[in-house]
């Protein structure tokens, strides 16, 4: 497991980042998180990367031997695109998520199989009609927002996103959020699933390696064998 972050623990994080305690304030987040995982299960090999993601190449350098990327980076907003482009071109599935004041949302991209984030951006430029993804551009330019995340919201979205990650990694079920924005309104309990279309000429999707050539992730047809009961 590779953890990537550049931040130090601040008091305001404690409300939703349950790995940290008061005594951790000022420590590098990845260092303390790696320590926590080591205490939880010494059998997990953890690599803590204390660095700031500033371009797509930063992500590509971390993708060697990766089976899946869990994308939670919120700043800069373009990082959503960098994660998408780097992961698709390396054939690595990624799960991304977000939190607003009264809703949570998550989606995933199955390289070369599902639509990707660039497909979502392009579909919005085209129309807004069926298969459009009006959330994509808002996400890309959502700078300087007040962070509305609270502990319960983050716990919820991480639970949903972690289950999606387990679908990819173990094959116990097919991904349910590949090219689909899943939104849960926590005020009403309503769930919506917005499918966005794969664009025929998406350059990012075209960069995905053929499934048979992939080293990352478990081959779709054999994933059930990797489930550990
Ligand atoms: Zn695409």
Lowest mean pLDDT among 21-25, 93-97, 145-149: 145-149
| For residue 38, pLDDT beyond 90 | yes
Phi, psi of 28 (to 5 degrees): -60, 135
The 10s digit of each residue's pLDDT in 192-216 is 999 998 998 999 999 999 875 554 4
| For residue 140, pLDDT beyond 70 | no
Sorting pLDDT into bands at 50, 70 and 90, what band is 148?
confident
Percent of the chain past pLDDT 90, that is, above it, reads 68
What is the C-alpha to C-alpha distance for residues 30 and 50, in angstroms, rounded to an integer? Answer: 6
What is the average pLDDT score of the chain? 86
The pLDDT score that the predictor gives to residue 100 is 85
Sorting pLDDT into bands at 50, 70 and 90, what band is 131?
low
Q: Given CATH 3.90.550.10, say whether it is the number of domain 68-226.
A: no
27 CA → ligand 1 middle, Å: 38
| For residue 77, pLDDT beyond 90 | no
| For residue 219, pLDDT beyond 60 | no
| For residue 225, pLDDT beyond 60 | no
Please, which residues have CB less than 5 A from ligand 1, an ion? 116, 118-119, 202, 204-205
Measured in whole angstroms, how far is the alpha carbon of residue 2 from the centre of its chain? 14
Cβ-contact 118, 85 below 8 angstroms: yes
What is the C-alpha to C-alpha distance for residues 112 and 89, in angstroms, rounded to an integer? Answer: 9
Residue span(s) of the chain under CATH 3.40.50.720 come to 68-226
227 CA → ligand 1 middle, Å: 29
69 CA → ligand 1 middle, Å: 17
Cβ-contact 53, 4 below 8 angstroms: yes
The pLDDT of 6-16, averaged and rounded, is 93
């Amino acid at each position: 497991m590779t953890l990537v972050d550049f931040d130090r623990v601040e008091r305001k994080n404690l409300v939703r980042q349950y790995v940290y305690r008061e005594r951790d304030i000022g420590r590098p987040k990845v260092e303390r998180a790696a320590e926590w995982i080591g205490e939880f299960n010494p059998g997990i090999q953890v690599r803590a990367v204390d660095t700031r993601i500033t371009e797509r190449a930063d992500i590509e350098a971390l993708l060697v031997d990766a089976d899946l990327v869990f994308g939670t980076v919120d700043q800069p907003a373009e990082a959503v695109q960098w994660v998408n482009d780097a992961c698709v071109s390396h054939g690595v599935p990624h799960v991304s998520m977000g939190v607003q004041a009264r809703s949570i949302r998550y989606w995933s991209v199955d390289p070369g199989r599902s639509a990707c984030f660039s497909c979502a951006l392009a579909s919005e430029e085209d129309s807004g009609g069926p298969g459009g993804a009006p959330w994509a551009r808002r996400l890309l330019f959502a700078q300087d927002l007040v962070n509305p995340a609270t502990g319960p919201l983050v716990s919820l979205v991480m639970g949903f996103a972690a289950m999606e990650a387990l679908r990819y990694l173990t094959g116990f079920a097919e991904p349910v959020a590949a090219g689909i924005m899943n939104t849960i309104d926590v005020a009403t309990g309503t769930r919506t699933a917005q499918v966005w279309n794969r664009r025929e000429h998406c350059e990012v999707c075209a960069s995905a390696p053929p499934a048979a050539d992939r080293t990352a992730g478990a081959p779709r047809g054999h994933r059930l064998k990797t489930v550990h009961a």
